[in-house]
Structure 1
Amino acid sequence: MSGRKRKADDDIEDERMSQSPSNSPALSSRLPPRSIQKRVRSNISGRALPLPRLLETLSPDEMRNLLQSICQRHPDIGNEVVTTAPRPSIQSTLEVLSKYESEFQAAFPFGGSQSSDYAYNRVRVQLLNLLEALKDFTPHFLPPHEQQAATSLAFLDGATGVIHRLPNWDTYQHNRHKEEAYEEMAKAWAMVIREAAKKAGGMQLLYGGWDQKIAKHNEVSGGKMQEAVNELRGGLGWMGAETPAPAAGGQADAMSIRQQLLNGSYGIGSSASIGAW
């Protein structure tokens, strides 16, 4: 009797253990082994930024200075940058010149004459920076480096306007910077006109309105662009007899300027006026 009771108790205990959640086969299969459980890393430490993230934090000026410094220390890298960088456009270049021009204008003192010696001394550094940039950028748009005459002419048109806007100083010696800039710009115009006249007989000069623009630049500069005017006259001279009769209004005025350029009478008897700064 007692033996049968003990056996029954053992059977009940075995059944209870088989129903325990901890011993359930389904639960055991869901629990990962202790050896492959992911542990939280506790040894995190500071480190430098990856290069792409570091470059994202740099301003354009900081990036430019960094790149220039690297190129100066490693000329081979500088050569690679020159050969692979996008070609500067007219718009981007004129925007850079506009930035220098804005810095120049912002350097003027408040009140008083803006053509005085005092004003000149205040803005001299910014003036030289502007003219140096103009001097460096201009050859990039000249032949043979620049093959498209339209591109060269468009840049020179905008760059000459920068010189027009420079003040005329009270002291004559201070005006030499502007005089030299006009002289170099006139030579640049003459070179481009000479090359453009060789292509398609200079038709681009005739029908692009450049004769009028160059004549206007010469007028505003007080005759400082005469070298360009002379080159244009020589380039268009052969077409003088073939020029069609003008219609009226603006076309007649344009043709009148063209004829004056061809016969060398443009600007005679008229005084050039330069607008106030």
Structure 2
Amino acid sequence: MNVLLSPQLPVFPHQHENMHLTQRNLPSIHNMSSRKRKADEDGDENMSPMSSPAISSRPLIRPSKKFRSNDLIGRPLSLPRLLETLDTNQLRTVLERICERHPDIGQEVVSGAPRPTVDSAMNVLHGYQERLNAAAPYGESSAEYTYDRVKSHIIALIDALSDFTPQFLPPIETQPTKSLEFLDGATRFIHNLPDWQPQTYRHHKDNAYEDISKAWALVINEAAKRGGGFNLHSDGWDQKLARHNEQSGGRLATAMTAMSNSVGWMGSNENGGSSDQGSILNQLVSGAYGSPVRVGPW
């Protein structure tokens, strides 16, 4: 039977004493771990954001609404919104007043604005022409009454022509083609001015023809310096000017003389070497336009 019993290891005296010491120390170690865990829990509670006195006393900030009932009061429009409501005439009036009060701003506008094109200038002149036509009385009326009705509009149109024309002349305008295109359109506006029977009412149109004729001559002489007048003739400007002079009743003599001096020799060469009488320009200048040209000995 002793063989079946599990063998027991012998216990020496010093091992028995150590076992008693270990059992006595276990409660103290358990108490220390309990106190440490409790201290950690207390520390976690103290470090919690909800337990911080600074945070707990701070009021919660809620996002404010964009519009409150006490903020809905009248106020003027901002500048971009105000400019959106202005039409062209109103905006021009406001800008002119500002430039009059502040000349330095006016100078900045002049230097910063783009140059007017021929089309934009023609559109402005067309507006003056329409207002002139609208002011004319209906039906038969005396020359005095009609002149009184349209006088201010005639002066406004002629003043606009006088202001725009130098903008398209050399040396401001360096391209003769643009200058000639403007003069072509401007001369048409002068053609459309009324022809008054009393000579006293025709001075506006006569003076306009005189000024535009000088402008034509200036551009023609400048263009002739560059290409010897070849472009003037090849682009048909000599023929256009001849038609303008005919429609004006010969009141563009200054321009016709300048054109004849620039391209007259080209017209004579195209007629097979005939005399200057074969040139349309020279015929108009001499007053022989429309008369038969002599060919041969008879």
> Does TM-score exceed 0.5, indicating one fold?
yes
Q: Deviations over 1:195-235 (max 9, x none)?
A: 00011222210101001000001100000001101000111
**In the TM superposition, what are the counterparts of 1:126-165 in structure 2 within 5 Å?**
126-165=153-192
Residue 200 (str. 1) matches residue 227 (str. 2): yes
Indicate which of 162, 165, 189 corresponds to 2:216: 189
Match of 2:61 in 1: 36
- TM-score scaled to structure 1, two decimals? 0.76
**In the TM superposition, what are the counterparts of 1:71-82 in structure 2 within 5 Å?**
71-82=99-110
SS at match of 2:114: coil
Match of 1:100 in 2: 128
In 2: Cα distance, 1:50 partner to 1:266 partner: 67
Identity of aligned residues (%): 48
Amino acid aligned to 1:136 = D
Contact 1:240 1:259 in 2 (8 A): yes
Contact 2:224 2:262 in 1 (8 A): yes
Question: Between Structure 1 and Structure 2, how many residues are aligned?
Answer: 229
In 2: Cα distance, 1:258 partner to 1:50 partner: 69
Indicate which of 265, 285, 288 corresponds to 1:268: 288
Match of 2:236 in 1: 209
Tell me: CA distance 1:66–1:257, structure 2 relative to 1, closer, same or farther (3 Å). Answer: farther
In 2: Cα distance, 1:105 partner to 1:87 partner: 28
**In the TM superposition, what are the counterparts of 1:55-94 in structure 2 within 5 Å?**
55-94=83-122
In 1: Cα distance, 2:76 partner to 2:103 partner: 27
SS at match of 1:91: helix
Contact 1:108 1:119 in 2 (8 A): yes
Q: What 5-or-longer segments of structure 2 have no aligned partner? A: 1-57, 292-298
Contact 1:186 1:225 in 2 (8 A): yes
Q: Deviations over 1:129-182 (max 9, x none)?
A: 111111111110001100000000000000000000111112211100000000
In 2: Cα distance, 1:214 partner to 1:131 partner: 20
1:72 Cα deviation (Å)?
1.1
Q: CA RMSD in A?
A: 2.5
Q: Which range moves more in the overlay, 130-139 or 229-238?
A: 229-238
Contact 1:206 1:236 in 2 (8 A): yes
**In the TM superposition, what are the counterparts of 1:42-61 in structure 2 within 5 Å?**
42-44=69-71, 45-61=73-89
SS at match of 2:202: helix
Contact 1:117 1:171 in 2 (8 A): no
1:242 Cα deviation (Å)?
4.8
Q: Which range moves more in the overlay, 233-242 or 210-219?
A: 233-242
Q: Which has the larger radius of gyration?
A: 2
Q: Deviations over 1:100-145 (max 9, x none)?
A: 00000000111114x7111111111111111111111111000110
Q: Deviations over 1:25-61 (max 9, x none)?
A: xxxxxxxx97222344233122221111111111100
Match of 1:235 in 2: 262
Amino acid aligned to 1:159 = A
Indicate which of 199, 203, 206 corresponds to 1:176: 203
Question: Structure 1 residue runs of 4+, over 3 Å off?
Answer: 237-245, 262-267
In 1: Cα distance, 2:278 partner to 2:90 partner: 50
State the structure with bigger RCO (CA 8 A, min sep 6), 1 or 2. Answer: 1
SS at match of 1:224: coil
In 2: Cα distance, 1:61 partner to 1:78 partner: 17
Q: Which range moves more in the overlay, 259-268 or 95-104?
A: 259-268
Q: What 5-or-longer segments of structure 1 have no aligned partner? A: 1-32, 246-255, 272-277
1:259 Cα deviation (Å)?
1.5
Match of 1:220 in 2: 247
Amino acid aligned to 1:84 = G
